[in-house]
Amino acid sequence: KQEVTQIPAALSVPEGENLVLNCSFTDSAIYNLQWFRQDPGKGLTSLLLIQSSQREQTSGRLNASLDKSSGRSTLYIAASQPGDSATYLCAAIGTGAGSYQLTFGKGTKLSVIP
Amino acid sequence: NAGVTQTPKFRVLKTGQSMTLLCAQDMNHEYMYWYRQDPGMGLRLIHYSVGEGTTAKGEVPDGYNVSRLKKQNFLLGLESAAPSQTSVYFCASSYTPPGYGANVLTFGAGSRLTVL
């Protein structure tokens, strides 16, 4: 069974810092990996999706990388802003019978201090 | 463009009562999903549907039933609510299977259910 772990569970940084969020998964036979953002009391917003054949994806100040062989993905946020404060979740999308099921990590709660 | 709409947003039930959560999407998506989010547990898939008239079990289906009579709607039912079903429920939809190509999941804002 796929397990997804996110470290750290919470992170507080001053505005302007670059930061890295980590995501690890136990089964490397994934189809894709997706990063989401969740604001308090809200649903999830998709940030980046990395297909298994890709190494990384970029969107603005966000860059996500994927290393299937080591079972790891990272989300890099450049020049952090208070508006980046949210919980960030990664989700691994399985293959075969698990292809409809995203396995989520528990998230990293990010606070960017002005 | 409303996206994915969930109703109700909040509900308090007594043990043994029944209720239905409604998810509606206006994006002509084939795939729809119900997740629950619990503190310390992350999101877990309850049921999903790959098209009108179809449903399938996810990771935690016990105690729930679903129906997809219309393509745009996916209903989640609790026949006899239990305190263990206290959670935040999220509906999501996608045009293709999750993560396929450039398509991604679109989530609703969530429905907070408390069972006393």
Q: In this predicted structure, what is the pLDDT of residue A41?
A: 84
Q: In this predicted structure, what is the pLDDT of residue A83?
A: 96
Task: Identify all chain B residues contacting A89, using CB atoms and an 8 Å cutoff.
Answer: 42-43
Percentage of residues of chain B with pLDDT beyond 70: 95
Q: In this predicted structure, what is the pLDDT of residue B86?
A: 97
Closest-CA residue of chain B to A50: B99
Give residue A28's pLDDT band: very low, low, confident or very high (50, 70, 90).
Answer: confident
Q: In this predicted structure, what is the pLDDT of residue B109?
A: 93
B86 min Cα distance to partner chain A (Å): 15
Residues B33-84: tens digit of each pLDDT: 999 999 888 899 999 999 999 999 998 999 999 999 999 999 999 999 999 9
Asked if B106 and A46 come within 8 Å (Cβ–Cβ), the reply is yes
Q: Side-chain half-sphere of B78: how many Cα atoms within 13 Å?
A: 25
Q: What is the DSSP letter of A98?
A: G
Tokens of A106: 């528990």
Contact B74, B108 (CB under 8 A): no
B105 min Cα distance to partner chain A (Å): 7
The string of DSSP letters for B80-113 reads S--GGG-EEEEEEEESSSTTSTT---EE---EEE
Q: In this predicted structure, what is the pLDDT of residue B113?
A: 97
Task: Identify all chain A residues contacting B41, using CB atoms and an 8 Å cutoff.
Answer: 106
Residues A40-89: tens digit of each pLDDT: 888 899 899 888 888 999 999 999 999 999 999 999 999 999 999 999 99
Asked if B42 and A34 come within 8 Å (Cβ–Cβ), the reply is no
Give the bridge partners for B35, in sequence order.
Answer: B45, B90
pLDDT at B90 over 90: yes
Cα separation, A62 vs B2, whole angstroms? 26
B20 min Cα distance to partner chain A (Å): 19
Asked if A42 and B110 come within 8 Å (Cβ–Cβ), the reply is yes
Asked if B99 and A100 come within 8 Å (Cβ–Cβ), the reply is no
Contacts 24+ apart (CB under 8 A), B59-68: B59/A101, B60/B36, B64/B34, B66/B34, B68/B32
pLDDT at A96 over 90: no
A18 min Cα distance to partner chain B (Å): 26
Closest-CA residue of chain A to B45: A101
Cβ neighbours around B12 below 10 Å, total: 11
Q: Which amino acid is at A114?
A: P
**Which is higher by pLDDT, A100 or A44?**
A44
Task: Identify all chain B residues contacting A86, using CB atoms and an 8 Å cutoff.
Answer: none
Is the minimum CB–CB distance between B44 and chain A shorter than 8 Å? yes
Q: In this predicted structure, what is the pLDDT of residue B1?
A: 61
Across B14-39, average pLDDT: 95
Is the minimum CB–CB distance between B69 and chain A shorter than 8 Å? no
